[in-house]
Chain A
């Protein structure tokens, strides 16, 4: 079998607030023998504001996709927002020749045929690498962790090609393969954290985040696995402000940090020190 090779689109957050996501994705993929080629000169996908003009969103995303397509590579995008924009663009360009023509006209010096596919690291790990392989590589099972797998909105919605928008299971399966106890976090696993309203409607946004933490505790979780920098912003640095006095915080991790840990990668390389809600206690509980 050919070694797995992808174009890598980190996106803006992974260079700043979500740098441990970036580090852990790279470390885990490297350990599993999956090669990531960072897209040269990548640009911001435009996130939610770009959705005010579909063509702008397609073009900003398309410029990044064109680099990968020209090299015959599929794209891996860990940030949910970027994944959604890039994936939507790839799907639209593939499905609709009129969109393709328009996007290419705007892109000018580069162009897309629609061949490129966009994958979330979850898909690569579960589908391309495979749970069996990951299970085989686990050297430090995560026994003792009771994980609420939290997908957020944009990995599975509006649609991807690998998991259900209502009850996704890829992360559940992955965490179970690492030897962790996975709590049943349906239906909260796909509920919105409110992140998009953090600046404009802070009270509402924090209320949504608090609800997620409380529900996870109710389900018996002692930690939460994340896959999105925006969710992370809400559930790590802003978890404190979201909770009321006396409410117990819940340590959260990028799911790739947890995989790295189970694969025996040095925790320092995985950016555990960068967490705001202290993970010390729950990590100490790891048998």
Chain B
């Protein structure tokens, strides 16, 4: 039985599951033709499905595509083979982060976002913006300032985070930990590409 090489067992397991789902992709391109950002992607969503079918996971995880997806689900609702393209791209983002792929803007955003949720149980936009800009474009914060100020004036940005009560926060932390533990413990599954089909 073949397993995907070169990834942590958790990632290999997740990729195997994804490969199984995309095995029925018929490369029709409906997803790409429906995607608002496909022209700006290096691989169209359809081409990305092809990478996954071909077992070229590393290319897929390096692609701009997974970070250019707006999660609009246009591809998913139209896919004639009922492949959940949007969700697959989301999972690939998670794998890229967990496997330590080079940090993209989207990755910084995701990490900062979930870090805040884990810390407070709720979103706190000012911190998100600061963390994002510190890593990605320090000067960008200047550009964002006028709108930030306007929103602050209208009371649409709160200066302080709203935290859940301690008990709730503990629950949130446990959720994150339990999910992470399960991700790591995911059992290796046979790679469908190498299985003899009946």
Contact = CB atoms under 8 A, between A and B. Distances in A.
Scoring B132, B151, B167 by chain A CB atoms within 10 A of each residue's CB, the highest score goes to B151
Given A12-B122, A43-B164, A158 B86 contact: yes
Given A16-B125, A52-B91, A52-B110, A153 B171 contact: no
B158 A192 contact: no
A204 B105 CA distance: 14
B74 to A, nearest CB: 7
19 contacts: A16-B157, A41-B164, A41-B165, A51-B71, A55-B182, A56-B176, A59-B175, A60-B117, A60-B172, A106-B182, A108-B175, A157-B77, A197-B70, A199-B132, A199-B136, A200-B106, A201-B68, A201-B105, A237-B150
Nearest to B165: A41
A17 B117 contact: no
Contacts, number: 165
A139 interface: no
B190 interface: no
A276 B183 contact: no
A97 B121 CA distance: 27
B174 A108 contact: yes
B72 A56 contact: no
Contacts of A201: 37, 40, 68, 105
A159 B84 CA distance: 12
Interface string B70-88: 1111101100000010110
A111 B37 CA distance: 38
B122 A276 contact: no
Interface string A192-213: 1011110111001100100000
B179 A106 contact: yes
Interface in B144-185: 147, 150-151, 154-158, 162, 164-165, 167-168, 171-172, 174-176, 178-179, 182-183
Given A204-B40, A208-B36, A274-B155, 16 more contacts: A43-B117, A50-B117, A51-B94, A54-B91, A55-B179, A108-B171, A153-B73, A157-B72, A158-B73, A165-B77, A192-B70, A196-B69, A197-B68, A199-B129, A241-B147, A274-B154
A154 interface: yes
Specify which of A46, A53, A166 lies most central, judged by the most chain B CB atoms within 10 Å of its CB. A53
Interface in B105-155: 105-106, 109-110, 113-114, 117, 121-123, 125, 129, 132, 136, 147, 150-151, 154-155
Contacts of A208: 36
Interface residues of B, number: 59
A153 B71 contact: yes
A55 B77 contact: no
Contacts of B187: none
A273 B150 CA distance: 12
Nearest to B111: A49
Interface string A49-72: 111111110011001000000000
A214 B129 CA distance: 29
Contacts of B106: 200
A282 interface: no
A19 interface: yes
A37 B123 CA distance: 21
